[in-house]
Amino acid sequence: MPYQAPTHTVERSLRATTGAKIVAGVDEVGRGAWAGPVTVCAAVTGLRRPPEGLTDSKLITPKRRTVLAVELESWVTAHALGHASHEEIDELGMTAALRLAAVRALEGLPVRPDAVILDGKHDYLGAPWQVRTVIKGDQSCVAVAAASVIAKVRRDKMMAELGIEHADFGFAANAGYPSPVHKAALAEQGPTPYHRLSWAYLDALPQWRHLKKARSWADGNVPEIEGQLGFEF
């Protein structure tokens, strides 16, 4: 499928308007999954020409994505990953869990970036980070696209490993996202130790609904859970 190759346009703009010297691209994977962590990658690429075929990880075949991720990990100037576990997602809600994972990734970089390009329209990172949100940044921005591919491949591998003892759920193929195999196993066997138990899919499973976790926050406000997919999806 033809696509527009990502560029350094946003990074150049940030450098020119803010004086930033180090700009990190940030993207997440796992937001809409029913099981496993949410994973964020922060990547610093500089202004070099990217490897051929780089784009949003979802637009790349699994085989090519795996090969490209290896190439990217040696091509980028620096990268780091951060994860927020399914328990942290249940406890904090997705928005706060995303921020936790993103901060872990950014703080894992060898040098603190002066600015961050964040994929999407919502700034879940916030102060003290200087953030520029870009809708479909994983298609248009080199650093974000690189982060997208690395995060996707790393989390997919993690989910495949977690799924070894739960083969019926097909985590190696669906990475914890809802699929017919995943849904069938969930209805029959109930959640694995890696499922997010505060999520709405349990409402449609009367035999397992008693396992649902009611979340509470100190301020009494329930934050949004972005990307939840109902069982009927």
Specify the pLDDT at position 59: 87
Placement of tokens 């990880």 in the chain:
57
Residue reference for tokens 């803010």: 18
Rounded alpha-carbon distances, angstroms, from residue 79 to 85, 94, 227: 20, 23, 25
Q: How far is 144 from 34, CA to CA, in rounded Å?
A: 24
pLDDT at 131: 96
Give the rounded distance of the alpha carbon of 136 from its chain centre: 14
Per-residue pLDDT tens, the chain, 233 aa: give them: 456 889 999 999 999 999 999 999 999 999 999 999 999 999 999 898 999 889 888 889 999 999 999 999 999 999 999 999 999 999 999 999 999 999 999 999 999 999 999 999 999 999 999 999 999 988 999 999 999 999 999 999 999 999 999 999 999 999 999 999 999 999 999 999 999 999 999 999 999 999 998 865 433 444 444 444 444 42
The H-assigned helical ranges of 108-141 are: 137-140
